[in-house]
């Protein structure tokens, strides 16, 4: 009877130890670190997605063309008055010179001034630089304002004309470069300058 009691107690104790050991154990990998099982995702659960980081927005386009031309003219954008004027200049720069031309396929100096005055100021001017000179009020270089005319004696009196912008710069149709911005301080134009003009 005593032997049976001892055996029963021994078996019960052994069984209890086995149960406790199996409940608290963790499966270990070959390296001895615990290995945990990741619960499987149920079929109805959508996979987790990560939102890509937001990239820096691209710089906004120039909203006012005056901010493009101010550095080229050496002034602040606020000193340039007419957005329409600088938009016109921007769209015509580089148009080739063509004697007698009046459009984007080729233009001469008076043809360019005529197109600019029609589009920007809604004014018609005569076809030739000499006629424009005769019909404009002559002013000195120090009186020039944005949109005024500048005349040059290159192949005769008032044989070349351009439109004043700012800080001694003017836009015109050059025989060698087409529509371009030049400076009155350039020795060539400084010497050839005749007068300013205002319509």
Which residue in 11, 35, 169, 172 is the catalytic one?
A: 172
Give CA 59 to chain center in angstroms.
Answer: 6
Element (H, E) at 123: none
Instruction: Tell me what percent of the chain is helix, strand and coil, each rounded to the nearest 5.
Output: 35, 20, 45
35 is catalytic: no
Which residue in 11, 23, 35, 109 is the catalytic one?
A: 109
109 is catalytic: yes
172 is catalytic: yes
CA-to-CA separations, 38 to 16, 41, 43, in angstroms, rounded: 29, 9, 15
Calpha distance 111→103 (Å, rounded):
8
Residues acting as catalytic residues: 109, 160, 172
């Amino acid at each position: 009877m005593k032997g049976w009691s001892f055996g029963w107690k021994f078996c019960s104790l052994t069984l209890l130890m086995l149960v406790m050991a199996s409940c608290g154990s963790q499966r270990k990998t070959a390296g001895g670190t615990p290995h945990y099982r990741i619960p499987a995702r149920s079929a109805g659960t959508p996979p987790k997605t990560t939102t890509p980081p937001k990239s820096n927005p691209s710089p906004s386009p120039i909203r006012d063309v005056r901010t493009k031309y101010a550095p080229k003219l050496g002034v602040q954008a606020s000193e340039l008055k007419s957005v329409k004027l600088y938009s016109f200049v921007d769209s015509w720069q580089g148009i080739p010179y063509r004697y007698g031309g009046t459009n984007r396929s080729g233009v001469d100096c008076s043809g360019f001034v005529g197109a600019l005055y029609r589009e920007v100021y809604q004014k018609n001017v005569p076809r030739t630089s000499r006629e424009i000179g005769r019909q404009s009020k002559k002013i000195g270089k120090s009186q020039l304002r944005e949109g005024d005319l500048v005349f040059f004696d290159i192949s005769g009196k008032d044989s070349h004309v351009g439109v004043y912008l700012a800080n001694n710069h003017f836009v015109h149709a050059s025989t060698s470069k087409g529509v371009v911005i030049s400076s009155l301080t350039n020795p060539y134009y400084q010497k050839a300058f005749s007068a300013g003009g205002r319509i």
